[in-house]
Every structure is written in structure tokens, then in C-alpha cells.
């Protein structure tokens, strides 16, 4: 059975002082885990530095973004080959902050997803609805459209052994997770949809939840049957709180699997 994957997404935060102060604490908690697995998504400029810290650990590196081009005159961009070269395993694709702040549409995100998969890295596809879309009761439609943008270009096998992170856009940064029943309903719907195309592929996908996850609400998330991991943002920046979150996750998974 796969371990429960917890990803710390630091976004545009952190510096050498933050890393030097906290990375050994993360390594220490990682050594005590049997049911959970950790991964860190730092800003680009610190990936190689952290990679050296994480040698001989099971903690993986995550890139927060990638360009659709492999090389060329694209000032300021980072290619999938560069990420692979410095030890990255996972790439976050389609985060709502990229969709909103950088105007990335489903088509563009699909290209990133496919390139990441073809180059042997694991994409973390973020999908979810806005507050207005939630009010219109079209959450499922929005999520399926985001998945279908990839299926229009590639066969469903492209999703084999990938990650889908359901992140309601309105919940991110709100300090409030979505309703537990709504999360389970949405993830179950997505899983069932992919299963209707190919059951084997659906079973291989890791389904995560993200959106204001913290140490105080994490226990509630384990009422949901279909999640295999968490994408943690702000709560990962205070390491003591993040470690508390990880310990609670480990305890919950142990109880569920005993």
C-alpha cells in the first residue's frame, strides 16, 4: 500500500536562514515515519541547496512550476530537463495561483502536464473551483473540464501513477477547509469518472486535498475515504506546526490501517 504523501509547498517564501534552521527538524520527523512520506516544494533557487541536505533521506523534491519549452530563448523560465538534472521528482501543475496570477489556461496546463510525464517526472495536477463556481453548483463540471483538457490531447494512460490535488480555490488561504462531505463527494466523482474510462489508471492515481490544511483541522480530513495525501501551503512555513500536522497524519493513517 502506498504511503500517505504530504507535500510542503513553500511558495514564494524562505531563505538560507529558514532552511538551515528547519531542514534538520524535517529530516528528524521523516526518520520516524512509517505510513507517511514527505516532499518539499521550495522556491527554485534553493532546490539544489536543499537537495544536498536531503541525500540519504526519503524526502523528495517538488518544483512549484515548469515551462512548456525544453530549451531556447525563454528568459526567466525553468525547463523540465533542468528540474530533472537537480533531483526533482514531482512538479506542481495548474496551481490556482498560476491560473489566476499568470493567466494559465487549461490548454497551457495540459502541455505542462504531458511534458512532465513524458520526461519521467510526476505531475501534481491541481484542480478546483472558484467561490462563484461553487455557488453555481458546477464544481464537478469545472474539475472534469480541467482533466479533459489533458484527455483531449493524450490517452488516459498519461494519468498512470500521477497525482491529482483537489484544491477548492476559495479555500486557499482562508484558514478554512472545504466541507468534509463535499471534499469526499468531489474526489469520489473524479475518481469514478476516470475509472469509467480506465479502472486500472484510476486506481494508480494519488488523490490529494489542499486548501488551508493545518494542524488544527487535519484530523477531520481523515474522515474522507479517497485521499492519499495533502498539499500543504501556509501551514508548512511554521515548522513546529508542520511537524505537529505530520505527526497527526501518521497517527491517523496508522489507526486506519491497523
Is 28 in contact with 74 (CB distance < 8 Å)? no
Report the sign of the C-alpha dihedral through residues 194, 198, 199, 204, in that order: negative
Beta bridge partners of 36: 4
Q: What is the DSSP string of 5-55?
A: EEEEE--S---HHHHHHHHHHHHHHHHT-SSEEEEEE--GGGHHHHHHHTT
Position 61 scores a pLDDT of 98
Superfamily of domain 4-257: Aldolase class I (3.20.20.70)
Q: What is the pLDDT of residue 130?
A: 93
Q: Say what the pLDDT of residue 159 is.
A: 98
Say how many C-beta atoms besides its own lie within 10 A of residue 223's C-beta: 12
Instruction: Print pLDDT tens along the chain (258 aa).
Output: 789 999 999 999 999 999 999 999 999 999 999 999 999 999 999 999 999 999 889 999 999 999 999 999 999 999 999 999 999 999 999 999 999 999 999 999 999 999 999 999 999 999 999 999 999 999 999 999 999 999 999 999 999 999 999 999 888 877 778 889 999 999 999 999 999 999 999 999 999 999 889 999 999 999 998 899 999 999 999 999 999 999 999 999 999 988
Active-site residue flag, 95: yes
Q: Is 167 a catalytic residue?
A: yes
Would you list the domain boundaries of the chain?
4-257
pTM of the model: 0.96
CA distance linking residue 166 with residue 162, whole number of Å: 13
List pLDDT tens digits, range 23-42.
Answer: 999 999 999 999 999 999 99
Q: Is the Cβ–Cβ distance between 130 and 169 less than 8 Å?
A: yes
Q: What is the DSSP string of 46-114?
A: GHHHHHHHTTTSSPEEEES---S-SSSS-TT---HHHHHHTTEEEEEES-HHHHHHS---HHHHHHHHH
The catalytic position among 97, 104, 129, 167 is: 167
Amino acid at each position: 500500500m502506498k504511503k500517505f504523501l504530504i507535500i510542503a509547498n513553500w511558495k514564494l517564501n524562505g531563505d538560507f536562514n529558514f532552511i538551515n534552521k528547519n531542514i534538520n527538524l524535517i529530516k528528524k520527523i521523516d526518520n520516524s515515519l512509517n505510513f507517511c512520506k514527505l516532499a518539499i516544494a521550495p522556491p527554485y533557487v534553493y532546490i539544489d541547496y536543499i537537495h544536498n541536505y536531503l541525500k540519504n533521506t526519503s524526502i523528495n523534491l517538488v518544483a512549484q512550476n515548469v515551462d512548456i519549452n525544453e530549451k531556447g530563448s525563454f528568459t526567466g523560465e525553468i525547463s523540465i530537463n533542468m528540474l530533472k538534472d537537480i533531483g526533482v521528482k514531482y512538479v506542481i501543475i495548474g496551481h490556482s495561483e498560476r491560473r489566476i496570477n499568470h493567466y494559465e489556461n487549461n490548454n497551457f496546463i495540459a502541455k505542462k502536464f504531458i511534458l512532465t510525464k513524458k520526461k519521467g517526472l510526476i505531475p501534481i495536477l491541481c484542480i478546483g473551483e472558484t467561490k462563484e463556481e461553487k455557488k453555481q453548483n458546477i464544481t464537478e463540471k469545472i474539475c472534469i473540464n480541467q482533466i479533459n483538457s489533458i484527455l483531449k490531447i493524450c490517452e488516459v494512460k498519461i494519468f498512470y501513477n500521477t497525482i491529482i490535488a483537489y484544491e477548492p480555490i476559495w479555500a486557499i488561504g482562508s484558514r478554512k477547509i472545504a466541507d468534509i462531505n463535499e471534499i469526499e463527494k468531489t474526489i469520489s466523482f473524479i475518481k469514478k469518472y476516470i475509472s469509467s474510462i480506465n479502472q486500472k489508471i484510476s486506481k494508480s492515481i494519488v488523490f490529494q486535498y489542499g486548501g488551508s490544511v493545518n494542524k488544527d483541522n487535519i484530523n477531520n480530513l481523515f474522515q474522507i475515504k479517497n485521499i492519499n495525501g495533502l498539499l500543504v501551503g501556509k501551514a508548512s512555513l511554521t515548522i513546529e506546526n508542520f511537524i505537529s500536522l505530520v505527526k497527526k497524519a501518521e497517527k491517523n493513517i496508522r489507526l486506519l490501517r491497523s
